[in-house]
Structure 1
C-alpha cells in the first residue's frame, strides 16, 4: 500500500529541485507520488494556472525550489526581472497552496537575505538588521518576502510553511552560462575553456558552447579566440596565459554540495512540528543551511583550477564588484535538529566537474 505523501516539487528542472527529486526517490518515495511540471506546462507566475493544478492534484507537500537566479552580473543587469519573477512565483504558489488546503510547504531562500555587513557567521536573527548588498537587493527582497509570506500564513491560518536559507550551492544541473552563472560554476567553465584553448582543442570549445551557451566576446578574447563576423565560427589568435576573474579575490564564500542541500530540505520538511517550533518562532521561522566553513574567492579559484587541470595564471579585475565581503552561515540550529553535511568540498567540486563534463558531452 502506498502511504507516502504526494509531493509537488516546484522547479524540478533546476539544480536544487532536481536534487530534491533525486533524494526523495533515494529515500523511497515512489515516482508517481512526485508531481513535477516544466515551465512550458505550468507558469508559476500565473496564479490561475497554479490554482488549477492544485485543484485537480491531491497534494500533501510542496517544495518551492523554483526561482529566477543568477550571479552578480545578472542581478545587476536585470533587477526588475529578478524581483518581479520571484515575488510572483512565491505569492502564487503559497496563496494557492493555502486556498487548496495544502498545509505543508517548504520555501527555499538564499543567504543574500542577510545584511551586507552582518556579523559572521550569519545567524537567523541577522535578518532585517542592516543594509543589503546593492548588487542583488531586488532578489534578496523577494526572498525576504517569501519568508514573511510563509510566516504570515502560519500566524493567520495555522499552516505549517517552513523556510530554509542555503549558502552558495553547486553540483549537477548547475548553470554554466557565463553571463548569469554563480561564481563556482563560472570558474569551472572558464578554467576548462582555458585548458582546452591552451591545448588547441577548438572542437571541444565549440561543443562546450553548444551545451552551455554562447561565450561572451570578452571571454573569447581572454581565451585567445576570435569569432568570424559572418559565419560565427571560432578561430585561434593565440594561446592564453591567464584567466581573469571579477573582483579582488578577497571575499569569503561558503559552498555546499546541492545533494546535501536536498537532504537538509527533506529533513526540515519532515521534522516533527514540535521540534521545529523549539528552534524557531512565528516571527523568526527560517533555518540556515551551510557547509560550516568558508574560503576566499582566490583560494576557491586555485582549488577549482587544480581539479580542472588548468595550469595558467589566475588574475583578478579589481575594477569589478566583489559583492558582500563574507557570507558564512551559522547553521547551529539545523545541526541541533540532527542534520550535518556529508560531502567534502574538494570531493564535491570534483563531482560537480564530472557532472559538468557529462552535461557538456566533452571529455
Structure 2
C-alpha cells in the first residue's frame, strides 16, 4: 500500500486567515478544537498552532453554502456556523461572533471569488476580503508546473501516519512487540486486505498476550475501530489516542528512535588485493572567523621621580639665567632647609685632647702677677 505524503505548512499556499475552530461532522459525536488555516481554497487543520504537519484538509471548491447554526445549545455564547459541501455538512464553532463572521466571509470569498454583502463586517474587514479575492484569482496563474519547479519545493516530508506505524505483517508485529517490550506495547500496521489497518497490542498475563483490532476506512472519510460497538475516528492519530485514553495509558505506542551515523564513511576496494575496507571521510574544518582587533589602550605614564636637591638648584639656576627651563617643565620640589656641615677634624686631633686656649683676661692677669713679683 502506498503511503500518503503531504507538504509542510511552509510549503502550502498563502494563508489568508487562521485561528482555532471546533470542528464536528454530523456523524461525529465529539467536537475537536483544531488550529485551522485557510490556504488558497483549502482548509488545513492542525492539532496545535505550532505544528508543522496538518492532520486533515478540506477542499472548498465544491462548497454549496456557509450559514449560521441557530440550533439550541447549552452554550448560549457559542458562535456556530455550518459549512455545506456536496453531500455532507460540517459544523464549526468560532471563539466569538466576530470571528464567525470573518470565517464565513473568507470561506465564501475564496470559494465563490466575490465578497458577500450579507455579512456584518467593518469597512476595513470588507476591504481585506476584496484583496483576498484578487489574490485568489491570481494564484492559479502563479503556480509553476512541477516539471519546471525545483524539486526542493516538493520534497515529501512525512507520511500521514502516526509515529507508531510499522509496515509489518501480523506475525512480524508480534515479534517486534516482543523484542521492543520496554519501548511500547501497541503499534499500527497495514491490514491484510491492503485497504484497512490493524492495531496489534501485547500485554503480560502469565505470559505474553497479543490482540489485534481492525481499523476500517469509511467511504465518506475517516476511520472506525471495528469492534462490537464501532468507534468512529476522524484520523489514524485519533485511533491511537482513543486506545491510549480508554485504557488509562496502559497501552503505550511503540516508538523506535532512528539512529544516525556520527562519521561519514565509505567502502573502498583495493585494486591490487581486491580487499574491501571501510574508510572514514576526512572532515574539513571550516576556517575560523578572525577575531576582532582589540582596542589598544595607551599606557599610563609613570610619575617622574622627584628631583634631588642638586637637580632642583641646577634647574632653578637655568630658569633664572634664561636656560632651557620653561613653563612646561616638571614642577620642582620645594627646597629643603640645608643644615651646614661641620668641618672635619684631622684624625690625630680627634684622638688626643687639645687643651683649650686661655682667654685674654686670664693672660693679662697672669702677666700682672708676674710683674708684681719682679
For normalisation by structure 2, the TM-score amounts to: 0.27
Larger radius of gyration: 2
Q: Which has the higher helix share?
A: 1
Greater RCO structure (CA 8 Å; 6+ sep): 1
